[in-house]
């Protein structure tokens, strides 16, 4: 199992969510975040830009296609488009039922 964490520009959120829905993602968590990267402004202090963070759990077989999809839909071709991290998940448990791993996804 994998956890996909991605940071994207807020204006790309709706398109990314719709694309994930069309591609069968059962759920996503979205958090508003702020940060800075290599596109630093000319300033003695970093300027924190608003972004959104998406967290998606999926099975191993689905992860590569989802990352490709997020990359294509989330790309504006500009600095600050974001990042994607793919993290191995040892176990996933649905709190309500106690189901584990892929059974906890759907």
Number of domains in the chain: 1
Query: CB of 70 within 8 A of CB of 85?
Result: no
CB neighbour list of residue 65: distance below 8 Å, 6 or more residues apart:
23
Checking if the pLDDT of 80 tops 90, the result is no
32-71 residue pLDDT tens: 999 988 766 566 777 889 999 999 999 999 999 999 999 9
Checking if the pLDDT of 82 tops 80, the result is yes
Q: What percent of the chain has pLDDT over 90?
A: 76
Range of the domain at 25: 2-105
Q: What is the pTM of this model?
A: 0.88
Query: CB of 1 within 8 A of CB of 58?
Result: yes
Segment holding 96, helix H or strand E: none
Query: CB of 74 within 8 A of CB of 52?
Result: no
The total of other beta-carbon atoms located within 10 Å of residue 100's CB is 12
CATH number at residue 16: 3.30.70.120
The mean predicted confidence, pLDDT, of the chain is 92
Q: What percent of the chain has pLDDT over 70?
A: 95
């Amino acid at each position: 199992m994998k956890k996909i964490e991605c940071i994207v520009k807020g204006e790309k959120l709706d398109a990314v969510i719709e694309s994930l829905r069309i591609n069968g993602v059962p759920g996503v968590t979205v958090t508003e975040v702020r940060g800075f990267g290599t596109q630093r402004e000319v300033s003695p202090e970093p300027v924190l830009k608003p972004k959104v963070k998406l967290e998606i759990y999926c099975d191993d077989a689905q992860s590569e296609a989802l990352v490709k999809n997020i990359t294509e839909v989330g790309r504006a071709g500009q600095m600050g488009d974001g990042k994607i991290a793919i993290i191995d998940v040892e176990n996933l448990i649905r709190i309500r039922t106690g189901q584990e791993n892929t059974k906890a996804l759907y």
